[in-house]
Amino acid sequence: MTETEIKTESPFWRFSLKFYRQPGVSDACIALQDGCGVDVNLLLFLFWLASDDRQLSADDVKLLDDNVRDWRNLTIVPIRDTRRKLKGAATLVDPDKQEAFRNKVKAIELEAERLQQEALYEFAKSGPLGTPASAHAAARANVAAYERVLALTFPRQAIDHLIRAFDAIAI
């Protein structure tokens, strides 16, 4: 990433890149996405808000989810599905060319995710979300609020791993 790109990216995007690169975080996020229907961008946003000592209620999380649902369903989910189906699929297209195309689809998927994060960041600038709490308490509470919104219990192993990774960078 160039210096110009860094200046134009939101603090939320930079947090997401740093957090997601922590060991095991991507695996935990993908497990929650595939196993529980978690919107990883929304989950990252909840952790980013926690890093700013903001604790959200289930109503707050539902509002956020309601606001990103259309974009997620219109762009991110179908692009992700296409990218995944292309991996190793036997088609008429030369495998190397198909893989090159899949990589372009992957880049488009990442851009769609970045745009969702940008929209969430802009939404957060409209006023403080949630209530003050310590970063650690806010992280746990925000995840619990997301569980309530989805009416699920997330796998403890994945959540505990994410909390530990969050605590390591939130210090």
Query: pLDDT means per 10 residues in the chain (171 residues)?
Result: 55 96 97 98 98 97 97 98 96 97 98 97 91 97 98 97 96 67
For residue 136, count other CB atoms closer than 10 A to its CB.
Answer: 15
pLDDT at residue 107, as a whole number: 98
Beta strands in 102-170 (DSSP E): 131-132
Domain extents in the chain: 3-170
How many angstroms separate the CA atoms of 142 and 130, rounded? 9
pLDDT at residue 1, as a whole number: 43
Q: Which of 86, 85, 81, 48 is nearest to 64 (CA)?
A: 48
pLDDT at residue 170, as a whole number: 85
**What SS3 state is found at 77?**
helix
pLDDT at residue 8, as a whole number: 60
How many angstroms separate the CA atoms of 60 and 129, rounded? 8
pLDDT at residue 2, as a whole number: 43
